[in-house]
Amino acid sequence: MAIVRLEGITRQFGSATGKTAAAKFTGITEITFEVPDGQFWALVGPSGCGKSTILRTIAGLERATSGDLYIGDRCVNQVPARQRDVAMVFQNYALYPHMTVAENLAFGLQMRQVEAQKRQERIADVAKMLAIDHLLDRKPGQLSGGQQQRVALGRAIARQPQVFLLDEPLSNLDAQLRDDTRAELKHLHQQVGITTIYVTHDQVEAMTLADQIVVLDQGRIQQIGEPQTIYSRPASRMIATFLGSPPMNIMRSVYEGAAFQVYGQRLPCPETLQAKLQPIVGQSYDLGIRPEHLQLSAAPGHLQVDITVVEPLGREVLVRAKLPAETSAQAQEIAFQCRPDQCPRVGDRVFLTVELDQLFVFDVETGKTLGCVIN
Residues that bind ligand ATP (CB under 6 A): 13, 25, 27, 47-53, 91
DSSP 134-163: GGTTS-GGGS-HHHHHHHHHHHHHHH--SE
The residues with which 164 forms a beta bridge, in sequence order, are 87, 196
- Nearest CB to ligand ATP, comparing residues 91 and 203: 91
Q: State the minimum distance, in angstroms, from the CB of residue 305 to ligand ATP.
A: 34
Look at residue 25 and give the partner it binds from ligand ATP, Mg ion, none, a contact being a CB closer than 5 to 8 Å depending on partner kind: ligand ATP
227 binds, among Mg ion, ligand ATP, none (CB under 5 to 8 A by kind): none
| Cα torsion through 5, 163, 39, 188, rounded to 10 | 170
Q: What residues form DSSP beta bridges with 142?
A: none
DSSP state of 90: B
Which does residue 53 touch among ligand ATP, Mg ion, none (CB within 5 to 8 A, set by kind)?
Answer: ligand ATP
Q: Which does 119 bind (CB under 5 to 8 A by kind): ligand ATP, Mg ion, none?
A: none
Please, what is the minimum distance in Å from the beta carbon of residue 9 to ligand ATP?
12
**If contact means CB under 5 to 8 A according to the sort of partner, which of Mg ion, ligand ATP, none does residue 49 touch?**
ligand ATP
Angle of the 116-129 helix axis to the 145-159 helix axis, nearest 10: 140
In 184-264, beta strands by DSSP E: 195-199, 212-217, 220-225, 249-255, 259-262
From the CB of 169, what's the least distance to ligand ATP, in Å? 13
Q: What is the smallest separation between the CB atom of 47 and ligand ATP, expressed in angstroms?
A: 3
Picked from ligand ATP, Mg ion, none, the partner binding residue 264 (CB below 5 to 8 A depending on kind) is none
DSSP 236: B
Longest dimension (CA), the chain: 74
C-alpha–C-alpha distance, residues 267 and 232, integer Å: 21
Whichever of 90 and 255 has its CB closer to ligand ATP, that residue is: 90
Pairwise CA distance, residues 100 & 88, whole Å: 19
Binding site for Mg ion (CB under 5 A): 52, 91
Q: End-to-end alpha-carbon separation of the chain, Å? A: 36
Nearer CB in complex with Mg ion: 89/317: 89
| CB contact at 8 A, 205 and 182 | yes
**Shorter beta-carbon distance to ligand ATP: residue 52 or 223:** 52
Taking the least distance from each CB to ligand ATP, the nearer of 218 and 295 is: 218
Nearer residue to ligand ATP within complex by CB, 47 or 78: 47
